[in-house]
Structure 1
Amino acid sequence: MFILQLSLIGLCLALIPLSWAWLRSGADQFGKLVWVSTVLTFDLVLFGSFTRLTDSGLGCPDWPGCYGTASPFIAHEAIRAAQALLPSGPVTMTKAWIEMIHRYLALALGVLMIAQVVMAWCKRKSLLVSPWWPVALLALVCVQGAFGAWTVTLKLQPLIVTIHLLLGLTLLGGLARLAMSCAPAPMLAPAAARWQWAVWVGLVLLVLQIALGGWVSANYAVLACPDFPTCHGAWLPPMDFAQGFQLWRSLGQTKAGDFITPDALVAIHWTHRTFALGVSVWLLGLGLQLRQFAALRSLAYGLIALVVLQCLTGLANIVLQWPLLIALVHNGGAAVLLLLLIMLNYRIVISRQGMR
């Protein structure tokens, strides 16, 4: 019964963006729906970060509902009992609501993705994209939902949490790419095409850095190095890479079941910090080179500004002891950086195809 209630909640939430897209008559109706889904996915990624940063990932320790119900309102007695049993534990009424709102938004996105598939096949003769693309993205949503369930049932296992983040960003990038494909793109100067390889390298580096950032966050290693630019006063502090990057293990533990050492957390943090330097240099250089092309200038300046913002917020997370707002901005900035690089790559690819 509560599954039906959850489905109705997701449907009701999805009706608002669905109604807006449906009222957009004309050839761009499908594109509007995809853009709305992209925005909701970005919000969902950001709210997922908020859920993790507020330690609300186990606010409802079962899935997909909350103590077998569709709402913390209904489950309030079980939540209060769990909180009374362990006041410092992961279950509180506030955390339960944060977790369930995240799930409600995910359900609404699922409804939008189903609507995309239906609309794509109904309008397949007039669309500029293959209707199989929305089908692939819907399948990705289902996989993402499975990892969301495992995040809870496996008690925030770092590898599952990190993959869950990466799949969410993959979905965000895929939706943005689909949305851009629904409308013609401006042509670029032929010289811009020679920078496609550099954009691809930047995209790969950024994805690796996001994966490292997800691993830092999933292991709560943000404050493993409390100073900057050194770590515990040393440029090369004691580190345990083997333990820190042991993938299949429980949160805070080694594969053998022992507590993870501080040196392992330092290794995780130091790797993310060091790799960020190389990624930042590459992306800043890329932005400076691409600003020479008028059609890419705004994206290039946006890339430069976001790299600077990421460096500043990353530093602030250390110096200011990981404040929630700055941590959210840092996570959101990484998602926007990903979108910018995808947009740059798309613009260049379209221009190269137009030159053939």
Structure 2
Amino acid sequence: MANWATFSVALAVVVIMLGAWTRLVDAGLGCPDWPGCYGFLTVPQSESNIAIANARFPDSPVDVAKGWPEMIHRYAAGTLGLVVFGLAAAAVRKRRSGVPFKLPLFIAGFILLQGAFGMWTVTLKLWPQVVALHLLGGFTTLSLLTLLVLRLRKFATAQGSDSERSLEEPIKPTANASRLASLRPWLYGGLLLIILQIALGAWTAANYAAVACTDLPTCQGEWWPKDMDFQHGFDITQHVGPNYLGGQLTAHGRVAIHVTHRVGALVVLGYFAVLLALIWRRSASAGLRGPVLLVAAALVTQITLGLANIIFHIPLPVAVAHNAMGAGLLLSVIYLIWQHHQLPQTQAARATHTTIMHQEITA
């Protein structure tokens, strides 16, 4: 089951990348209906099917080149949904053996909601609010599936035989365990920053603001553009109805979104530079240095891809990789937090716990 969950994580990353590809080639409305395409299971390509499709949707003539990215994304998302439902069914069937089943059931329910957002993305013509929430939903699904993998692998390890466990070298608490424990709230703060930055990226993509600034380190020749319109750029009351393909915001609103996303990247970089340095100093033998290096590598790669997007004017491979690495950065931080929770307790903490238990028993 853990292997299938791992497969679902890989598939979720593929779905996120396909979603980015679909959006970047302006194929979000390549099929004007849902879940099919012009009423067909695949993109209509024969002359007769294209004629039928155009008669059904006269305002959206068939564009095969844009229909296929949209349908490939839907096929992949549908496959992911089937895998998730299979995981939920397997977890319920094995629940008596102790396999975690509440999380798989929650993910299955969330997949249904994510499917609804996929439908609304099309039927509401790329309304930015729905597009942004759909993108965040994809990252949420990926995060939940990753957490499921970690829990299943921990459960599988715990199911090892007593003889195998007796051969394992006991994990010794480090002298810095209590100092590392004090950093846990800051790790959660970093996770929150990553989520907010991903939300900013989703809003940037939904409103086509990635190309609002084409120079570095300034934006349109200014360090802080004077004509930025934050009220317009972050207006969440945009009306349902217009076709939002290409965006409806003014240039000043898009610049405000883009600059905010840049500032967010600098905040995330500075925050994690300090936090990771502190963890590195305190985790000489705590098993956290690997996850710390993973987060650092993901962060540097993501910043580099973001800069490359601006310098080379949003090349498709780089833009898709930037979306994928955003997912990678999120997962690396989740993994660091997970590993932090697996740290052994200090001797003092264990002694305190034993004393409390002894008092409760003798009371």
- The interval holding the TM-score normalised by the smaller chain is 0.7 to 0.9
| Alpha carbons 1:291, 1:298 under 8 Å: kept | no
Give the letter for the 1:167 counterpart.
G
Matches within 5 A, 1:315-334: 315-334=307-326
Residue 269 of structure 1 corresponds to which residue in structure 2?
258
1:217 aligns with 2:205: yes
Identity %: 39
The 8 Å contact of residues 24 and 316 in structure 2, kept in 1 or not, is answered as yes
Which residue among 260, 271, 287 is the counterpart of 2:276?
A: 287
How far is 1:279 from its partner? Answer: 0.8
Distance 1:225 1:103, change over 3 A: same
The residue number in structure 2 matching 1:340 is 332
Please give the per-residue CA displacement for 1:56-81, whole angstroms capped at 9, x wherever unaligned. 11111100000111111467655578
2:15 corresponds to 1:44:
yes
Match of 1:18 in 2: none
Matched, 1:106 2:73: no
Q: 2:61, 2:194 → 1: CA distance?
A: 32
Output the CA distance in 2 between the equivalents of 1:349 and 1:196. Answer: 9
Aligned with 2:143 (options 147, 164, 173): 173
Equivalent position to 1:350, from 335, 342, 353 = 342
Q: Which amino acid aligns with 2:205?
A: S
Say which SS state the counterpart of residue 125 (structure 2) adopts: coil
Shift of 1:260: 2.6
Aligned to 1:163: 133
- 1:33 has 2:4 as partner: yes
> Structure 1 pair 151/125, CA: closer, same or farther in 2 (3 Å)?
same
TM-score (norm 1): 0.83
2:229 corresponds to which letter in structure 1?
A: D
1:298 paired residue number:
290
Code of the aligned partner of 2:26: D
Q: Please report the TM-score for the alignment, with normalisation by the length of structure 2.
A: 0.81
Q: CA deviation at 1:230?
A: 1.1
Partner of 1:249: 238
Q: What's the offset of the Cα at 1:97?
A: 1.1
Alpha carbons 2:207, 2:249 under 8 Å: kept: no
Moved more, 36-45 or 89-98: 89-98
**Aligned-partner residue type, residue 348 of structure 1:** H
Q: Residues 259 and 350 of structure 1: is their aligned pair in 2 closer, same or farther, counting only changes over 3 Å?
A: closer
How far apart are residue 82 of structure 1 and its match? 7.7
Matched residues in 2 for 1:252 and 1:274: separation? 32
Measured in 2, the distance between the counterparts of 1:76 and 1:117 equals 43
Q: Residue 351 of structure 1 aligns to a residue in which SS?
A: coil
Q: CA separation in 1, counterparts of 2:266 and 2:61?
A: 35
Q: Which residue of 1 aligns with 2:152?
A: 182
1:22 maps to none
Q: Which residue of 2 aligns with 1:199?
A: 187
Give the total of aligned pairs: 321
For the residue of structure 2 that corresponds to 1:182, the secondary structure is: helix
Alignment of 1:124-135 (within 5 A): 124-129=95-100, 131-135=101-105
Distance 1:58 1:78, change over 3 A: farther
Letter of the 2:300 partner, please give it. Answer: V
Go from structure 1 to structure 2 and tell me whether the alpha carbon gap of 1:80 and 1:344 turns closer, same or farther (over 3 Å shift): farther
Deviation (angstroms), 1:181 = 0.7
Aligned-residue RMSD, C-alpha? 2.8
Contact 2:125–2:241 (CA<8 Å) still a contact in 1? no
After superposition, give the CA deviation of every residue in 1:162-189 in whole Å (9 maximum; x if it has no partner). 1001011111001101110112389674
TM-superposed deviation, 1:253: 7.5
Name the residue aligned to 1:137.
107
Query: Does the residue aligned with 2:208 lie in a helix, a strand or coil?
Result: coil
Output the CA distance in 2 between the equivalents of 1:45 and 1:144.
12
**Unpaired stretches in structure 2, ≥5 consecutive residues:** 55-59, 158-169, 354-363
- Number of the residue aligned with 2:249: 260
Cα distance in structure 2, aligned partners of 1:177 and 1:126: 19
1:56–1:90 contact (8 Å) kept in structure 2: no
Kindly provide the CA deviation profile for residues 78-122 of structure 1, in whole angstroms up to 9, marking residues without a partner as x: 557889xxxxx8952122111111111111111111111111011
Instruction: Return the offset for 1:320.
Output: 0.8
Q: Which residue of 2 aligns with 1:54?
A: 25
**Stretch of structure 1 that moved more, 206-215 or 340-349:** 340-349
State the 1:226 CA deviation. Answer: 1.4
Q: CA deviation at 1:339?
A: 0.4
